[in-house]
């Protein structure tokens, strides 16, 4: 049986305990994370642009790259919302699925 995947993200651990830290810590963490996830999203976008769409594995790669872009964009939206309102919850608005 395959073990369940685990997420090991130091930023999420820091966010869990951010209210116990110094004022401004949430905004600083959020700004740094938004920048990092923008870089990763842009890397995926660059990979998508350079993808040889005639290659036999192009469809599979495009699916994964598309998922990666969407994943990173959701992180960007969350961290940017939290950076703009560090006292808030990071809610981005009405999203499909009730987010």
Residue 34 belongs to a domain: yes
What's the mean pLDDT when you consider all of the chain?
91
Asked if the model's pLDDT at residue 34 lies above 60, the reply is yes
Count CB neighbours of 41 within 10 A. Answer: 19
pTM of the model: 0.84
Assigned domain for 67 exists = yes
pLDDT at 6: 85
Residue 50: give the domain boundaries. Answer: 27-84
Q: What is the pLDDT of residues 80-98, one digit of tens each?
A: 999 999 988 888 765 554 4
For 76, counting Cβ atoms within 10 Å of its Cβ (0-12 exposed, 13-18 middle, 19+ buried), the class is: buried
In a domain, 10, yes or no: no
Residue 62 lies in a domain: yes
- Whether 75 and 11 have beta carbons less than 8 Å apart is answered as no
Domains contained in the chain, number: 1
Judge whether 71 lies within some domain: yes
In the structure encoding, which two tokens stand for residue 12, read together?
């999420």
- Is 99 part of any domain? no
Q: Compute the residue count for the chain.
A: 99
pLDDT digits (tens, 9 = 90+) for 6-20: 888 999 999 999 989
Would residue 9 count as lying in a domain? no
Q: Is residue 37 part of a domain?
A: yes
């Amino acid at each position: 049986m395959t073990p369940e995947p685990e997420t090991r993200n130091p930023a999420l651990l820091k966010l869990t305990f951010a209210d116990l830290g110094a004022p401004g810590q949430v905004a600083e963490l959020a700004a740094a994370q938004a920048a990092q996830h923008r870089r990763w999203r842009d890397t995926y976008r660059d990979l998508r642009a350079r993808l040889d769409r005639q290659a036999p594995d192009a469809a599979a790669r495009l699916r994964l790259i598309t998922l990666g872009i969407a994943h990173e964009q959701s992180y960007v939206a969350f961290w940017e919302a939290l950076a703009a309102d560090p006292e808030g919850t990071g809610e981005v608005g009405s999203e499909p699925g009730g987010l």
